[in-house]
Amino acid sequence: MFNTSKYKFSSSEIDFRLPSIMGVVNVTPDSFSDGGKYFSTKSAVDHALKLIDQGAAFIDIGGESTRPGSEPVSVEEEINRTIPVIKEIKKLRKNIIISIDTTKSQVAAKALDSGAEIVNDISGFTFDENMLNVIKEYDPGVVIMHMKGNPKTMQDNPFYEDVIKEIKEFLNNQIKKIELTGLSKIIIDPGIGFGKRIIDNFQIIKHLPEFEQLGYPIMIGVSRKYFLRKTLDLDINNVEIATVIMESIAVMRSARIIRTHNVEYCSQLVKLVNNII
């Protein structure tokens, strides 16, 4: 089980004995699932408020697409996309926990100054060497995710001898580095779809309870992802049922944060599962 079952943020306290929902807001023109729909500050804020009303405890704001093959954007562009959204959400909903989805230390610092309380780094804090200094200064919550390669190259024939062992080793090493900064609000994410084959993604879900050995709450993101669409021969507009089924399995196999685009469905899932676990 986890080192502690509750994390206290400035906005609220989260009890990880039960699952929570992280709603996704992509302030990008090119994300794989909703690119362009929430590219303006107003549309992004309105969408975030809707997700909060539907049951999200966290809102994850991203200003750079991380879909396979995507190109990075500049620090300035990422700041211009995300910071106005964070400020406006915090003005309207002070008790919501905002996560900034970034690998850049300058973006993370600006977001934390603006009211974000979690840094969700898909590189597991490996891309930007200054990121550890930033999180040490601000003491936020952190999401350490595993990814093989980078978004542009991660799906170019990824291969593992033992996918679970390799992911656990990476996460454990990064946990130790972050613990040395004094941070304690750590969340781990095995990185479904980030440098993984279809079989790897299913293996991660199957062996999810093993990640509890690392001592921190597990976040999982399967929402609308390619491995579901490919397995069931579905397009992006028809994968919500498959998403919520896989999210249910993940929760029953020890995931405690579900990062999702469809908070309405996931909220129903959580209410039902809470009567079982």
Pick 154 or 204 by higher pLDDT: 204
Give the pLDDT band of residue 157 (cuts 50, 70, 90): confident
* DSSP type of residue 266: H
pLDDT at 1: 60
Where in the sequence numbering do the catalytic residues fall? 225, 259
* Mean pLDDT to the nearest integer, 244-264: 97
The answer to whether 2 touches 16, Cβ cutoff 8 Å, is: yes
* Mean pLDDT to the nearest integer, 87-96: 97
**Which stretch of 38-42, 107-111, 160-164 has the lowest confidence by average pLDDT?**
38-42
The answer to whether 260 touches 22, Cβ cutoff 8 Å, is: yes
φ, ψ of residue 110 to 5 degrees: the values are -60, -40
Give the pLDDT band of residue 178 (cuts 50, 70, 90): very high
Give the pLDDT band of residue 33 (cuts 50, 70, 90): low
Cα–Cα separations (whole angstroms), residue 274 to 22, 103, 223, 234, 242: 16, 33, 20, 29, 20
pLDDT at 139: 98
* Mean pLDDT to the nearest integer, 80-101: 98
Pick 32 or 223 by higher pLDDT: 223
Give the pLDDT band of residue 151 (cuts 50, 70, 90): confident
pLDDT at 36: 64
- Homologous superfamily (CATH) of 19-273 is Dihydropteroate synthase-like (3.20.20.20)
Percent of the chain with pLDDT over 70: 96
* pTM for the structure as a whole: 0.95
> Can you give the residue ranges of every domain in the chain?
19-273
Asked whether residue 58 carries a pLDDT value surpassing 70, the answer given is yes
Asked whether residue 80 carries a pLDDT value surpassing 90, the answer given is yes
Cα–Cα separations (whole angstroms), residue 13 to 68, 141, 161, 208, 215: 34, 12, 39, 24, 19
